[in-house]
Amino acid sequence: MTSPQTAETFHFLDYGYDPATGELRMSWSFDDGPPLVERLVFPWAPWPSDASRQAAFTQVMGLLHLVAGVSYYKAGLPPVIDTGSHAIDASTAVFLETLYSRGLAEFAHVNEIDLDGRIRFGITSEYPERVTDLALPDRALVAMGGGKDSLVSLEMLRGAGIEIQPFAVGGSALIAETVAAAGLPFIRIERHLAPELQQMNAAGAWNGHVPITAINSLVGLCAALLYGYRWVVFSNEASADEATLVDDHGRAVNHQYAKSLDFETRLADLLDDRLGDGVGYFSLLRSMGEVEIARRFAGLERYHEVFSSCNRNFHIDGPRIDGRWCGDCPKCRFTTLALAPFLPPPAIERIFGRVLLDDDAQLPGFQALCALEADKPFECVGTAAESRALATALAAREEWKDRAVIRHLAPRVETGDDTLEALLARRGPHHVPADVAARVRL
Ligand SMILES: CC(=O)N[C@H]1[C@@H](OP(=O)(O)OP(=O)(O)OC[C@H]2O[C@@H](n3ccc(=O)[nH]c3=O)[C@H](O)[C@@H]2O)O[C@H](CO)[C@@H](O)[C@@H]1O[C@H](C)C(=O)N[C@@H](C)C(=O)N[C@@H](CCC(=O)O)C(=O)O
Ligand SMILES: Nc1ncnc2c1ncn2[C@@H]1O[C@H](COP(=O)(O)OP(=O)(O)OP(=O)(O)O)[C@@H](O)[C@H]1O
């Protein structure tokens, strides 16, 4: 296979869904190289009889093809992008250019590649295709990630009496266990990347972070149209808007771009243009920060022994650790910090199998969470202000103040107005539909 890095053009080839098997196939290529075929399998092979739902599904599947191409495009970054049979109107082109450039910002930063002006999706159509008469039942398909955030959403919706169906993309047994603990049925959508990607990576193709939540969001929207759910609910928080770092050219590099309000707004607007309000994509926790979410999760004891936020669990080929927490990564550190004000030390030890705040070897990692002497890590963690407020609050608690990490960290951080109480009270903008927001008491 020729190297994707020498290719002139990245081609979007075919996409299609087979109602007999529930398999969705999408393909791309570099120049005239072999097609790179990614497959998704929707269990029970759903297929709606209603023509407007079929038309809406075909549109959303087209968007998924355009978004999921990012995994392959990044391997070579060819100068030309050929969108093939897709009708790309101006707003779709801007949506894709923004997603590819901001969603690949960490990838570009780590690989020292300048993406400015490189990613261009040509306009091939004046208007977006529209489906106007979509009617889906008022019920929610909830994206599950195995961690605390999606479980908080699930319980908020359940508590409000809204019909819920958890789903996840990929084969994580751990996510399935959280859903089993919720006592709910589970839709697990298989995802198989093109096998050539692994070979290209091994041969030295460009590799790095991709905006995975954007891909999962479009898969969720396909599922909503196939299975019949009006709302696709994610659990992305206000804290995800903070850039992980600002580079030497003043550009924001955000590991969590696809979890940001900016991405959510752009995708929701695009869907509104094409499908009206027949389908709703939103994050239920958008108005809250990590601290408020942790406070709510602390009260959901039934999940304390089954959840995991540690991303060492979520590789495509399965977990790379024994147990649910590796105990030495930014997510393990941040989740400890966020839950500690709301749970007693024995409960923290039961969850994580240790108390990271007792281990002074962990101090540099906690400092990085506070953006002290280091950038924040490329991980899904809270804002630096949240970590500082948490450290300060723990220094005022008898049960935490003498722990090694808190003793060293707390005197070195300043919180200003961002105290724990202020962060708990703060609410930002969101796109939760008014009827849902009222029912969950947002
Ligand atoms: C689990 C993890 O952190 N994976 C990142 C890691 O990948 P690694 O090679 O160690 O293992 P795999 O995840 O199994 O991936 C194998 C290769 O496959 C490619 N790939 C995978 C998924 C995909 O959608 N597209 C792909 O191209 C990629 O080449 C992999 O090397 O390092 C990779 C390179 O930096 C990261 O891309 C992997 O991240 C995954 C896509 C992933 O699922 N990460 C989530 C845990 C994650 O970061 N979630 C964010 C959401 C942020 C967002 O904006 O969406 C979060 O929790 O903040
Ligand atoms: N495999 C997946 N399939 C579908 N949605 C997912 C998947 N992984 C993560 N998500 C969703 O993406 C969003 C971001 O994931 P994230 O890991 O931050 O959340 P989480 O696992 O619920 O909580 P935590 O922050 O504790 O890890 C959440 O809405 C989550 O449900």
The interface pTM score, or ipTM, of the predicted complex is 0.98
Exposure on the CB side of residue 270, measured as CA atoms within 13 A: 25
**Taking the CA atoms of the chain, what radius of gyration do you get in angstroms?**
22
Task: Give the pLDDT of residue 408.
Answer: 96
Atom of ligand 2 nearest to the CA of 335: 26
Ligand 2 centre to CA of 123 (Å) is 33
Q: Element (H or E) spanning 296, and its range?
A: helix 290-298
**Which element (helix H / strand E) includes 149?**
helix 148-159
Pocket (CB within 6 angstroms of ligand 1): 71, 193, 197, 201, 207-213, 215, 255-259, 311, 314-317, 380
286 within 8 A of 426, measured Cβ to Cβ: no
- How far is 341 from 429, CA to CA, in rounded Å? 26
Specify the pLDDT at position 362: 96
Q: What is the pLDDT of residue 1?
A: 63
For ligand 2, say whether the CB of 234 is within 6 Å of any of its atoms.
yes
Nearest CA, atom 1, ligand 2: 169
Exposure of 287 in the CB half-sphere (CA atoms within 13 A): 14
Q: Give every CB contact of residue 151 below 8 A, 6+ residues apart in sequence.
A: 144, 178, 182, 297, 300, 303, 307
Hey, which of 316, 332, 334 would you mutate to test ligand 1's pocket, going by the most ligand atoms within 8 Å of its Cβ?
316
Q: Are 189 and 169 in contact (CB under 8 A)?
A: yes
**Tens digit of pLDDT per residue, the chain (442 long)?**
668 999 999 999 999 999 999 999 999 999 999 999 999 999 999 999 999 999 999 999 999 999 999 999 999 999 999 999 999 999 999 999 999 999 999 999 999 999 999 999 999 998 878 898 999 999 999 999 999 999 999 999 999 999 999 999 999 999 999 999 999 999 999 999 999 999 999 999 999 999 999 999 999 999 999 999 999 999 999 999 988 998 888 989 999 999 999 999 999 999 999 999 899 999 999 999 999 999 999 999 999 999 999 999 999 999 999 889 999 999 999 999 999 999 999 999 999 999 999 999 999 999 999 999 888 999 889 999 999 999 999 999 999 999 999 999 999 998 989 999 999 999 999 999 999 999 999 9
CA pair distance 96, 361, nearest whole angstrom: 42
Give pLDDT, residue 3: 86
- Ordered DSSP codes for 242-278: S-SEE-TTS-EE-TTGGGSHHHHHHHHHHHHHHHGGG
Ligand 1 atom 38: residue of nearest CA: 209
Domain ranges of the chain: 4-286+432-436, 317-425
pTM exceeding 0.95:
yes
Taking the C-alpha atoms of residue 167 and residue 144, their distance in angstroms, rounded to an integer, is 6
- Return d(Cα 19, Cα 323) in angstroms, integer: 38
Q: Cα–Cα distances in Å, from 424 out to 152, 167, 399? A: 15, 29, 21
